[in-house]
Amino acid sequence: MSNEHIEKSYENSTPENVIVTGGGSGIGEAICLRLASRQRHIYVIDIDLNQAKRVATLINQQNFMATPILLDVSDHRAVLDILNNLPNPPNILINNAGVSAIGNLENTTEETLDHLYSVNVKSIYNCAYAVIPIMRRDSRGGLIINLASVASSVGVSERFAYSMSKGAVLSMTMSIAKDYVNSGIRCNCVSPGRVHTPFVDNYLSKYYDDKSSEMFAELSKSQPIGRMGQPEEVAALVEYLCGPQATFITGSNFPIDGGFVTLNS
Ligand SMILES: NC(=O)c1ccc[n+]([C@@H]2O[C@H](COP(=O)([O-])OP(=O)(O)OC[C@H]3O[C@@H](n4cnc5c(N)ncnc54)[C@H](O)[C@@H]3O)[C@@H](O)[C@H]2O)c1
């Protein structure tokens, strides 16, 4: 499809109200900035209000609409209170907020397991639980995109809790897609390999303080393409999935991983 055709189909499509969880940093920030010019209103949700405000300000400065919202997406009641009362009802939900942890089963504490479940798994249930009835109202329909990972479908060493959580993201995606296809709601996920964001920098400094640059090089090489991804590359894929050319896609997982899953096996 030519650029001209793509622009035409955007002109004919209705801009949507979009929720991006974890929109204050990394991939979520890149998604907010990328979608702002195409969509009507971006709700930048984060547990770190300053970061959410920073991203919303960048969008507002370009004369697009964004609102920062402080919310812990693992808190069921708080999610319902806030998402049920947004001034513009959401048509697109991007479940991006996530946390990581390193360790095999034996050195994963119960507290870490519960934390990753709450932020990476339960948050998707919480946000979709709030938003699906809004999308079903008046047969409006909608779209949900979840941030999964290569860890959803292959074993990544020393990522026991993280893999548990991202496996659930993939299966929740397929389950939501199947249950709501007749309500006009589509659901897909994207599965990045390593993407250079604060998420990666934070765990390198937390777990590999003295040799974080060696680990950075090692993690880069684990993608057969030889580098980490950029947040903007994931955001471009998400933009496509939110756009008018992607309306036939549901229940699908999109790896974006420099060949990590397919070429390493
Ligand atoms: N960076 C990678 O290599 C990579 C690879 C595969 C998948 N992912 C996934 O992509 C998503 C984004 O990762 P990133 O690298 O941009 O991370 P990041 O750490 O840069 O950003 C995550 C954002 O989520 C927010 N957040 C964390 N807990 C929250 C909560 N309880 N409520 C609301 N907001 C919360 C953080 O404040 C932060 O702004 C995550 O789901 C992650 O698992 C990342």
pLDDT digits (tens, 9 = 90+) for 15-36: 799 999 999 999 999 999 999 9
- Quote the tokens at residue 169: 């993201």
Q: What is the reported pLDDT for 13?
A: 74
At 224-244, the pLDDT tens digits run 999 999 999 999 999 999 999
Q: Which helix (H) or strand (E) holds 35?
A: helix 26-35
The CA distance from 211 to 79, in Å, is: 39
232 C-alpha to center of ligand 1: Å? 14
Q: What is the reported pLDDT for 156?
A: 94
The CA distance from 68 to 232, in Å, is: 20
* Angle at alpha carbon of residue 189, lines to 206 and 236, rounded to 5°: 80
- Quote the tokens at residue 171: 């299966």
Residue ID of nearest Cα to ligand 1 atom 31: 72
Of 201, 198, 225, nearest in space to 213 by CA: 201
Of all residues in the chain, the percent with pLDDT exceeding 70 is 95
Tell whether ligand 1 has an atom less than 6 A from the beta carbon of residue 234.
no
Of 59, 119, 65, 106, nearest in space to 88 by CA: 65
What is the pTM (predicted TM-score) of this model?
0.96
Tell whether ligand 1 has an atom less than 6 A from the beta carbon of residue 119.
yes
198 C-alpha to center of ligand 1: Å? 8
At 183-204, the pLDDT tens digits run 999 999 999 999 999 888 887 8
Mean pLDDT score, 214-222: 93
59 C-alpha to center of ligand 1: Å? 20
Ligand 1 atom closest to the CA of 30, numbered from 1 = 16
Q: What is the mean pLDDT of the chain?
A: 94
The CA distance from 135 to 126, in Å, is: 15
Q: What is the reported pLDDT for 10?
A: 65
218 C-alpha to center of ligand 1: Å? 21
At 108-119, the pLDDT tens digits run 999 999 999 999
The CA distance from 12 to 150, in Å, is: 35
Mean pLDDT score, 50-61: 98
| Active site residues per annotation | 162
- pLDDT grade for 45, boundaries at 50, 70 and 90: very high
C-alpha 232: how far from chain center: 13
Q: Is residue 1 predicted with pLDDT exceeding 60?
A: no
Tell whether ligand 1 has an atom less than 6 A from the beta carbon of residue 255.
no
Q: Which domains does the chain have, with CATH numbers?
A: 3-193+229-256 (3.40.50.720)
